[in-house]
């Protein structure tokens, strides 16, 4: 039995492996057990990026025409809800030569909406992992045989509650993901993939108007501001506004609303299309120049230049009655994101505070007389 992976370091940079890579390794091991008639403690597998890796097996069980092997996922230092999950592959041999059928077991989601690149009703195993699992099984299949591979993730349904799967139309468990097989810290690849998928689902279902928010709280406020839009059009893009804007333009969305708070929107206004705290700081010089543009006295401009955070800037402006700066921040966000889109896309920006109060927007919404 393999050991549990080491705990992640929140500030670390240790890489890990995707759910898809772990599932492919488990499937390869189970097929090899059936082909050779012997139990294993580890298996060497090839990742989608063609890197060769050896995985320790957590379980290896064999019963005639059926074998079951599992791998414990090590996500490295990535804050991934599937870190420590058990990826299980149960393999049965068939007489359908060279044919590998993938089935959904416990804890793996089922696709219920179009736009994910997977058939509705099929297991939520993305195309690259699907190919990788199939290839690894084919490498081990005895001559003249095929296989039915069922992927299980114990507690996967509970893990899925920490993801946006339900909104994407993936119900009953997690998705089996991964394009390279490697997970890098901060969920860059996994999170980007989920943002792209969410846009694809919304567009496939005929929505031309999308709402991008930076997290759950700003999304809640956005839903209150834009109640006429269906839930699937609200997409938490996290730090990846640039990825989201480009993909929305690529998918020919007509309009994108960006709703967020001062910190993230200040970074977007400065042209930072990846807004993680470790990757970009708020440009106080920019905010000071916007304050001057809004008519702030020299002392307030100097105080803003020396401010600690974007929230501090808001407090300084509020104390001095300078409310117009929020509209200027939104205007810069629109200009930067429109430029970044690379294709025609109407962009609107809305700035709210930590209580959801509307502080600024661009362009100003017209109200009926």
Q: How does pLDDT run across 191-219, given as a tens digit for each residue?
A: 788 899 999 999 999 999 999 998 888 99
What the block records as the tokens of 114 is: 């179009």
Domain boundaries, the chain: 16-186, 207-362
| Cβ within 8 Å of residue 2, ≥6 positions away | 56, 57, 58, 71, 72
Given this model, what pLDDT does residue 273 score? 87
Indicate whether 254 pLDDT > 50. Answer: yes
What is the 8-class DSSP label of residue 3?
P
Residue 367 has pLDDT above 70, yes or no: no
| Residues contacting 327, CB < 8 A, separation 6+ | 360, 361, 362, 364
What's the rounded Cα separation, in Å, for the pair 72 and 85?
6
pLDDT higher at 9 or 181: 181
Task: Say if residue 30's pLDDT is above 80.
Answer: yes
pLDDT, residue 50, reads: 93
pLDDT of res. 369? 32
Contact status, residue 100 vs residue 23, Cβ threshold 8 Å: no
Where residue 27 falls among pLDDT bands split at 50, 70, 90? very high
Class of domain 16-186: alpha beta
Among candidates 100, 76, 78, 98, which has minimal Cα distance to 89? Answer: 100
Beta bridge partners of 43: 55
Mean pLDDT of 45-56: 96
How does DSSP assign 89-147, residue by residue?
Answer: EEEEEESSTT-EEEEE-TTB-EE-SSSSSS-TTSBSB-HHHHHHHHHHHHHHPPTT-EE
* pLDDT bracket for residue 74 (50, 70, 90): very high
Position 282 scores a pLDDT of 84
Token duo for residue 166: 């339900």
C-alpha closest to that of 83 among 170, 187, 198, 196: 187
pLDDT band at 7 (very low <50, low <70, confident <90, very high): confident
What span, in angstroms and rounded, lies between the C-alpha atoms of 248 and 13? 30
Name the pTM for this structure.
0.69
Select, from the ranges 15-19, 27-31, 353-357, 364-368, the one with the highest average predicted confidence (pLDDT): 27-31
H runs (alpha helix) in 270-357? 284-293, 298-305, 310-319, 325-341
The chain-wide mean pLDDT, for the chain, equals 91
pLDDT tens column, 124-166? 999 899 999 999 999 999 999 999 999 999 999 999 998 878 8
The CA distance from 255 to 211, in Å, is: 9
């Amino acid at each position: 039995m393999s050991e549990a992976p080491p705990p992640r370091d929140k500030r670390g940079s240790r890489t890990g492996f995707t759910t898809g890579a772990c599932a492919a390794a488990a499937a390869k091991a189970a097929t090899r057990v059936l082909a050779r008639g012997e139990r294993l403690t580890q298996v060497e597998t090839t990742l989608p990026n063609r890197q060769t890796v050896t995985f320790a097996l957590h379980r290896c069980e064999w019963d005639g025409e059926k074998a079951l092997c599992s791998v414990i996922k090590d996500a490295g230092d990535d804050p991934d809800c599937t870190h420590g999950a058990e990826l299980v592959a149960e393999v049965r041999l068939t007489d359908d030569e060279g044919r590998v059928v993938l089935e959904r077991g416990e804890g793996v989601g089922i696709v219920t909406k179009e736009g994910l690149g997977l058939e509705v009703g099929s297991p939520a195993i993305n195309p690259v992992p699907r190919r990788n699992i199939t290839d690894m099984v084919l490498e081990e299949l005895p001559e003249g045989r095929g296989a039915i591979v069922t992927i299980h993730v114990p507690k996967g349904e509970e893990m899925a509650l920490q993801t946006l799967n339900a909104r994407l139309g993936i119900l009953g468990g997690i998705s089996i993901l991964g394009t390279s097989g490697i997970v890098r810290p901060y969920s860059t690849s996994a999170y980007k993939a989920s943002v792209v998928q969410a846009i694809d689902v919304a567009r496939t279902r005929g929505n031309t108007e999308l709402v991008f928010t930076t997290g759950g709280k700003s999304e809640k406020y956005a839903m209150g501001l834009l109640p006429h839009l269906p839930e699937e059009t609200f997409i938490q893009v996290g730090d990846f506004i640039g990825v989201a804007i480009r993909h929305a333009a690529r998918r020919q969305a007509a309009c994108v609303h960006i709703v967020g708070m001062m910190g993230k929107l200040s970074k977007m206004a400065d042209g930072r299309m990846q807004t993680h705290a470790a990757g970009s700081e708020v440009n106080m010089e920019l905010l000071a120049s916007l304050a001057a543009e809004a008519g702030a006295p020299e002392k307030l401009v100097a105080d803003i230049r020396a401010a600690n955070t974007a929230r501090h800037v808001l407090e300084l402006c509020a104390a001095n009655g300078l409310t117009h700066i929020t509209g200027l921040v939104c205007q810069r966000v629109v200009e930067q994101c429109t430029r970044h889109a690379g294709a025609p896309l109407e962009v609107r920006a809305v700035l709210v505070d930590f209580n959801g109060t509307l502080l600024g927007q661009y362009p100003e919404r017209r109200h009926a007389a």
